[in-house]
Amino acid sequence: MTATSPLAGLRILDYCWVGAGAFVTKMLADHGAEVIKVESRARPDNLRVAPPFKPNVDLLEASGYFASRNSNKKSFALNMSHPQARGIAQRLAARCSVVTSNFRPGVMERWGLSYDDIRRENPSVIYLTMPMQGLTGPNKEYVGFGSTIAALSGLVERSGLPDRAPVGTGTHYPDHVPNPGHGVIAVLAALYERGRSGLGQSVEVAQLESTVNVLGPELIDAATNGRPFVRRGNRIADAAPHGVFPCRGDDAWCAISIRTDEEWRSFVDVLGAPVWATAPELATFSGRKAHEDRLEGLIAAETGHRDRFELMRELQKWRVPAAAVSAADDLVNDPHLRARGYWQRSEHAAMGSILMNGLPFRVAGRPRPALRAAPLLGEHTWEIAADVLGMDRAEYDRLVAERVFY
């Protein structure tokens, strides 16, 4: 990051671990904020021991998952279970513009790091907290991660085939999309307001509520019309066919979505106008929807001998929405992503050269910022103790010996 990065000069004290909160502060760090991540060997971020791992590397430094969520951050190894750590954390919070956490209610308060505690010394602080179900209410003490939140929010109930049990989203979806997205917007909005008023504020993002947001139209339908969630597999109400169809090769698929009669005619042409596809009942959307079961089987028989990428390119040429289902190696070697310079390599102190996701948007006239690899645990402890807290080496060494810095 450089002095011209959008958030350069913004210092954040980060108590966000694992998925959603760590993604919030990653995005802020990737745009120039100085993010000081607090953890210790006594209690490291759980994501440090989450797979995948680089072989033959110390376990706490080998996680690709941790590396993905913590680029451009600094690591401050402060053992919060030690009584002396709390005073140090309070001094550090007084010197930061933003404080973030995603612990359950009560943890930051026990450490003397509540919003009220911090604003006494730092009245302009922005304080983001991301509890699972909020700071109030009967379930405020509940804990969980993306999969738990997905279940409570209704996402899991919506996922799967009509005659099968719910299957979930296949990933901790709330941790990757709605919760970090709302968290970043909340911080930026509070910073904008502070720029106008000079006032800090406490901002609460209840992760359940930001995930429920994803199902807005269906919740309105349930509340207004009394219709329950319905599992439809890959189908949706306004397209037919709309699904994933087999292609040539092992576990090869192409996603196809047809909403208009014009798209259907183009699709039939690409298939070579098989006799079944010219049936009058398939000429209209309502007819295709009524015969969706049979239609999917007929399409699968046509696509099964085709290459998924060739089929995608041919359909896209005729403006038919289609996409090959990509595996990990397809994405890493994707010529389009490579042509745009999306993938970046960075040197990690323990893992060596690692592949990293680039920033997913660009600002006209600016080069895409280079990303610094995730920090080793405690990599920046001395730097922060000296430069931010004004600590001398003798005090620092004493605190290391007493495992305050650990």
Tens digit of pLDDT for each residue in 211-268?
999 998 888 998 999 988 889 999 999 999 999 999 999 999 999 999 999 999 999 9
Three-class secondary structure of residue 78 per DSSP = strand
Give dist(CA 59, CA 104) in Å, integer: 26
User: From 2.40.50.140, 3.30.70.100, 3.30.1540.10, 3.40.30.10, which CATH number describes the 242-331 domain?
Assistant: 3.30.1540.10
Q: How is residue 131 written in tokens?
A: 């509890």
CB 200 within 8 A of CB 119: yes
CA 174 to chain centroid, in Å, comes to 7
- Whether 365 has a pLDDT exceeding 90, the answer reads no
Q: Considering the chain, what is the average pLDDT of its residues?
A: 95
- Whether 32 has a pLDDT exceeding 70, the answer reads yes
330 as an active site residue: the answer is no
- Whether 50 has a pLDDT exceeding 70, the answer reads yes
Predicted local distance difference test score (pLDDT) of residue 92: 98
Give dist(CA 296, CA 233) in Å, integer: 12
Band of pLDDT at residue 2, cut at 50, 70 and 90: low
Radius of gyration of the chain, Cα coordinates, nearest whole angstrom: 25
Maximum C-alpha span of the chain: 86
CB 180 within 8 A of CB 20: yes
- Order of strands, edge to edge, in the sheet holding 201-204? 74-77, 34-39, 11-15, 98-101, 126-129, 201-204
Question: Which residue is listed with tokens 């014009």?
Answer: 262
> Picking from 10-24, 168-182, 277-291, 384-398, which range would have the lowest pLDDT averaged per residue?
168-182
Q: Which uninterrupted H or E stretch holds 151?
A: helix 146-153
Sign of CA dihedral 284, 285, 289, 294: positive
- Whether 159 has a pLDDT exceeding 70, the answer reads yes
- Hey, how many other C-beta atoms are within 10 angstroms of the C-beta on 31? 19
Q: What value does the mean pLDDT take over residues 335-364?
A: 92
Band of pLDDT at residue 89, cut at 50, 70 and 90: very high
Give dist(CA 203, CA 127) in Å, integer: 6
List the one residue out of 68, 62, 54 whose CA is nearest residue 22.
Answer: 68
Superfamily name with CATH number, domain 11-213+341-401: Crotonobetainyl-coa:carnitine coa-transferase; domain 1 (3.40.50.10540)
Between 20-30 and 178-197, two packed helices, what is the crossing angle to 10 degrees? 50
Structure confidence by residue, pLDDT tens digits, 66-75: 999 999 999 9
Question: Which residue is listed with tokens 């110390």?
Answer: 58
Predicted local distance difference test score (pLDDT) of residue 192: 97
- Whole-model pTM? 0.91
Residue percentage of the chain with pLDDT more than 70: 99
- Residue 158, C-beta contacts closer than 8 angstroms, at least 6 positions apart: 166, 215, 218, 229, 230, 231
Where does the chain hold its CATH 3.40.50.10540 domain(s)? Answer: 11-213+341-401
List the one residue out of 146, 150, 212 whose CA is nearest residue 176.
Answer: 146
Q: What value does the mean pLDDT take over residues 272-286?
A: 96
Question: Which residue is listed with tokens 């690409």?
Answer: 270
Tell me what percent of the chain is helix, strand and coil, each rounded to the nearest 5: 40, 15, 45
- Whether 1 has a pLDDT exceeding 70, the answer reads no
Determine which one of 58, 175, 261, 293 is catalytic. Answer: 175
CA distances from 7 to 27, 44, 125, 243 (A): 10, 27, 16, 42
Three-class secondary structure of residue 201 per DSSP = strand
- Whether 5 has a pLDDT exceeding 90, the answer reads no
Predicted local distance difference test score (pLDDT) of residue 207: 96
Structure confidence by residue, pLDDT tens digits, 179-211: 999 999 999 999 999 999 999 999 999 999 999
